[in-house]
Structure formats: C-alpha cells, structure tokens
Structure 1
Amino acid sequence: MGKGTIYKSEVAKEIITQHYENYIKTFNFNVERKYVDTRFGKTHILVAGPVEGKPIFIFQGGNCINPMTLSWFSSLVDHYRIYAPDTIGHPGYSDEARISAKDHSFPQWIEELMNHFDIERCAFIGPSYGAGIILRLATFMPNKIDCSILVSPAGIRLGSKMKMIKDILLPLMLFHTTSSDKYLNRIANIMSDNSMKDIDKTIIGDVFTYTKLEQDMPKLTTRNELENYNAPTLIIAGTKDIFFPESKLSKVAKGIISNLTELKAYDMGHFPSEAHIVNMNKEIIEFLSKYY
C-alpha cells in the first residue's frame, strides 16, 4: 500500500470496505452515493431522504465506518435530506490523506461539500470525532450552521487519561499482540457500557487490526473561538463515556457555547445502546422541529 494510506494492505482495505457494503445493506431506506472533489481529496458521500427535505450533514465517528454511526440517526431520513460524508483520512471510500482537526481545514472541506450541493447553511449532527469537526466549523464558519447536535462530543473536554490507558489502550495493545476476543470484548464493553452490537464489535476489531488508527483528537474548543457562534445547540452526553464523560464536559460546554439550548445526560457509554438510540432520535427530532 502507498505511504499515505490508512490501511495495512490491499486485503485490509477490502475487508473494511466489505463491512461498509454489508452495513449499508442493513438500512431500510435507499442510499445514493456521490463523489465530490475537494482541495483535500475526493470525498465519498452517502445521501438519503426526500429531495425536498431540509438538509442535514452528519459526520461519522472516528476510527469506524460511516454507515455505523449514520445508522444511529436513521429515523431522520423520513423527513430530512441527509448528507453523510466519509471523513477524509478515516475508513471508507474517501481519500486517505488525513487533514487536521485543529485548524480551518475541516471547515474548508465542509464548505466545498456544501457548495457542491448548493447548500448555504443547514443543520449538523456529529457523534464523537464528528462533533469535533462541527466545532471547528463553528469556530471558523459559524454562519454555515443553522443548528447543531453534538453526541458524545470530542472537542470540548477529555475524560481521565489514566482511565483511558488502563481500560482502552492496554487491552488494545494486548488485542494487537494476541488477537484474542477477550480483549476486544473488554474494549467494546467499556466503550458501550456492555451494549455494543456484534456487527459493530466485529467492525471495530477489524478497524483495530487492519488500519492505522487516527490518534489525534480534535482540538479542544475555547470560548473565544466560539464568540461568533450562536446557533441553537443540543448536546447528548454519556455519564459512562470513557472518552468524553458528561461530568467532565457539561460545565465546559455551558461556558463556551452561548446558545447551548439543552444538554442531555444519558446513562450510556461512548456507544449508545438500541434503547438510547430510540430516545436520542426522539429528542433530536423534537429539537430540529423547534429550531430548524
């Protein structure tokens, strides 16, 4: 494989993209697939929902595949036009040269995607790393955002590094060494509070095995950076999220986001359970009906 690739071999890429295809087959809605050329590389986008529906951009979580986190918001497809790009430099079909989540690169990438679809401004949803991308957009191009929903968001406050080392990094090193499901199960249970679906666990394990993981978190956002951002914002955070626990990020979020209309604390890990996804979608639809 080339120097710029995130995959460890051609076979590795085939394994991950097959997971991608299999996940799309689980959807109960039709998906169009588009490619958009940007200054950062070619971007693959999943598009779904009624053509006349209001547009929503949904950004995937880091170190996973786009359809996995898109599936969490599938009920929105009935009424909204969904644009879900494969993040450049992450598993999927977009180009693989990573771009920085610490400067204006992602906002420029988003602007080019929006221009391609003739969207001036719209709503945004992002889980985890995807939320960190939205916060970069809020910093550099706040006028692009009508409202935003940040789920288990990166870019606000990190959890305990010692806990992450003990419960994620060490089992990950042992998984790499042994390929034992015991360590993968331990990581999956910590990430999801014992609720991760088997299909997601398998994909996460193969991403760990076959790709070079993105290790840089999006920049932690400051109050000054968001001084011009005043769009209504909903945050959904997990009390058991090892990466971005609600107890750590709620106070900071309230201090930096001027129009944080709601911050919902769920009794969940970084990955929501099926029950949490149902509740989350109800609250997101209610939020969108009010502010979008």
Structure 2
Amino acid sequence: MSTTQLPAEPKTRPEQSSISWRRILWIVAIALTVIFSLAPILWQVLTSFKTNADIEAVPTVYIPTQFTLQHYIEIFARRPFVNYMFNSGFVAVTSTLLCLLLGTPAAYALARLRLPGERIILAIVLVVTLFPYILLFLGLLEIVRATGLANNYLALIIPYTAMNIPLTILVMRSFFQQLPRDLEDSAKVDGYSTWQMLLQILLPMTVPALVTTGILTFIASWNEFLFALTFITRESMKTIPVAVAQLSGTTVFEIPYGAQAAATVVGTIPLVILVLLFQRRIVQGLTSGAVKG
C-alpha cells in the first residue's frame, strides 16, 4: 500500500529587517542637504530675534537666551522700510509684466513661425542670457546720465526687463514647442487670428510656464543690487537690497547685525509668500515636458 508523501513545508526564512539601510542613508543625506541649505536662513532669523548682548557674546550664542522684536521695531522706526518694499515691488512687478508681454509673443514667433535667420536669433538670445551683466554697467551708467533717468524708476525697469526677456523667450519657446499643432490648425479653421489664438487658446495652456518665468523674473529684479545702488540715490526711491546694505548703527564703529538680519528677513518674506502661493504652478512649470507621454 503506497503512502502519499506530503509536500515538505517550505523552510521559514529569517524575517527580513523592515529597516532598509539604503533608505536610511537617503534620509540622512536629504536631511543633511536641507540643514546645509537652510542653516544660513535659520541663522539670520535667529539673529533677528537676539538681543545685542547675545549677538556680541563670546563664545557664540546660537539659540537666543531672550527673544526680542526690538530690531524689527528699529528698522521701521529709523528708516522708511515700507517705502523701500513698495519701490522694490513696483520695479519688480512692472519689469516682470513687461517681460511676459514682450517675451511671450517673441517666444511664440520663434517656436511656430518660420523666420529668416531663426537659428541666429536663438543663438543671440542664448548668448545674451549667459552674458555677465556686470560688463554692461559702465555703458548703462552713461546712458542713464545722457537720458537723465537717474533717480527714476525707469532707470531700473528698462535694464531689468532687457536682462530678463531672453530667459522668458527661451522658457516660453520650449513650452510652445510642446503644444500640439492640431490645436492651432483647428483654431485657424474656426477663423481665429494669430493674436486671438495666442490669447484665448495657447496662453491658458501655458499658465505654469508663465507663472514660473514670472516668478524667476520677479525674484531677479527684487534682489538686484548694483544697478539699484548706482542709478537710484534718492532716499525715498531706494530698494530693499540697497536699504539693507546701507543700514548703519548708532555710531560710526557699530555694525547693526541684528537690524540687518531683521531687514533681511523682512525683505525675504514677500518672496517666500509668493513661492508658497504658486508652489503647485511652479512645480508644474519646471516639470512639464520632462517626460513625453
């Protein structure tokens, strides 16, 4: 009588550790990168809340022993910081709008229209984008003097617009190239003109690109220092970077580290708010077209 042999039970393997060392290394690497990137910002924020005794203490006091808002009160009491922020905002917003208004149609023309010398134009735009603008300083200074634009917002708006338009053209052109041509062919059949097609059909589809490009342009204009320092000397028209750099103490030999840190935080808050508000659009604009489906 044959007996059926039961299948052998599978050998129980030792339980795999639920902790992956590779995952731990990735987490540690990311944490170190974040700490390294945010350490200067955290230092400025903590310094803005320190008392002068903590700032001047030896050895260095990293965490304030006593938090104070005196430095923030001081910068608004001694200097018209609200006016400085308005100046920076007006110049940055105006130059950003001009870049989008002028650069977007140019980008569409380079992406869709067959222009003579198109490659040469693109090469010039790319060269201008990579060109160090500090080399244009003396020439722009002579132009500002000759045209009498000193202490005028146009002395900053025009250079900022000229510097940021090439970036706008390159970014928007890449987005227009990714859009299917069938949309434009259908719009032409329906009787849309080129401008109507651009405004009513294509631009709504490139909102992430417009937001991304606009924010990059805005940040570049908001943070620019050299032109704002030279072309604007009137106190009431200075921008945030210049005002922060020119903060002085109560005496000639005093360096107001706390006030400078507070002014830096105040000047950065609008940029942080702007990025947080449009975070999703920025991510869409940076990642759109990276993978073609």
Give the TM-score taking structure 1 as reference length.
0.22
Structure with higher Rg: it is 2
Please state which structure has a larger fraction of its residues in strand.
Answer: 1
Give the TM-score taking structure 2 as reference length.
0.22
